[in-house]
A and B are shown apart, each in its own frame.
Chain A
């Protein structure tokens, strides 16, 4: 049971990473990752909505008739997003202003409806919790990676502290959507390259193992 839960959770981080593998949630990924802090904030907000809505969908999965399930899921997701948005505006006004219209847009983030439909509505709450939490963490990590790279080149540092030498002229393109697309493209390419190297390594390993078994 624990092993299954662990599998449910870990796949959201690497093998089925929502941003680099499933290419879902592109809108907030590209729009708000102008800095590491923004990445964390959006990631956490999305994670909260993901976990809360997946949990709720899973709990009431036998009560919602199939025909209205999407409508039902959307009501649930929209409610949690609005709660998150109001909470952010009330307690972190600066962050709320920076993230702007992209917080309400979490409602249409494909990851959330996708996981609700594909997993949470078909499995027990505890498994739905593991799955959605994994996706949320994977999403947040991706945003943090993207955000820190963009912030590093756009301001010369991360979280306000300068890292690159003073002679480095800031790359303005990194603040803009164009820079987001470029960075994301390169990261996806890097991801795929690592993934294919790991896969071919696994194949040669297993081939070596098979020859060993044959010889023994």
Chain B
């Protein structure tokens, strides 16, 4: 009995000390971690809207939409994140729409673990720049084998059709949902 009490007591003390230290550490770290997260989100917003100077967070339909402002009072665009399954794992992308909701301002990849050299190329400027000024009034299509012909087509990465297809699928889904929310506003 005494032995059991001893064991319980030791583990309790260890647990208490551990818990206490971790709470203090969390108090120190949490605000900094949140600040870093904000910074990453902001960096991607301003990468899509280079003329942007500030933004307001809108809570619509359960998601965060960033209304981006430049030097004037009216918004220069909207930014929101999209997430979905890629080839290897989830892809997280920041999407920018111009205020008319008919054209994309651009995209930034926030998270991607696709195959380096193939699907991993989606973070490169040559791929991302295709989305600048792309038409958003109809679903975006990825093209294999020939050059894109219309306003809503982009060139898939050779050898990374699945990644390209997944990204386009994520974009179409998110754009449609957010555009609907914004029009209702």
Give the interface of A toward B (CB within 8 A).
63-65, 67-68, 71-72, 75-76, 78-79, 82-83, 86-87, 89-91, 93, 154, 170, 172, 175-176
Contacts and interface: CB of A to CB of B under 8 A. Distances in A.
Contact of A65 (B10, B26, B32, B117): B10
Contacts of A82: 22, 25
Contact of A72 (B10, B32, B40, B115): B10
Contact of A83 (B15, B22, B39): B22
Contacts of A76: 14, 18
A86 B29 contact: yes
B27 to A, nearest CB: 10
B29 A65 contact: no
B36 interface: yes
A129 to B, nearest CB: 20
Contacts, number: 58
Nearest to B118: A172
Given A75-B18, A76-B18, A79-B22, A89 B10 contact: no
Interface of B: 3, 6-7, 10-11, 14-15, 17-18, 21-22, 25-26, 28-29, 32-33, 36, 39-40, 115-117
A174 to B, nearest CB: 9
A87 B18 contact: no
Name the prevailing secondary structure of the B interface residues. helix
Nearest to A67: B7
B18 A90 contact: no
A175 B14 CA distance: 40
B10 to A, nearest CB: 6
B14 A87 contact: no
Contacts of A89: 29, 32-33, 36
B116 A72 contact: no
A79 B21 contact: yes
B47 to A, nearest CB: 16
9 contacts: A67-B7, A72-B10, A79-B17, A86-B29, A86-B33, A87-B29, A90-B32, A93-B39, A175-B116
B21 to A, nearest CB: 6
A169 to B, nearest CB: 10
A146 B35 CA distance: 33
A89 B28 CA distance: 11
Nearest to A63: B10
B22 to A, nearest CB: 6
Query: Max chain A CB contacts within 10 Å: which of B14, B22, B115, B117?
Result: B14
A172 B114 CA distance: 12
Contact of B6 (A65, A71, A170): A65
A215 to B, nearest CB: 63
A172 B11 contact: no
Contact of B21 (A63, A71, A83, A176): A83
A178 to B, nearest CB: 12
Contacts of A86: 25-26, 28-29, 33
Given A76-B18, A82-B25, A83-B25, A64 B10 contact: yes
Given A67-B7, A93-B33, 13 more contacts: A65-B3, A65-B10, A68-B7, A72-B14, A75-B11, A76-B18, A79-B21, A82-B22, A86-B28, A86-B33, A87-B29, A89-B32, A93-B39
A68 B25 contact: no
Contact of B18 (A68, A78, A91): A78
Contacts of B18: 75-76, 78-79
Contacts of B7: 65, 67-68
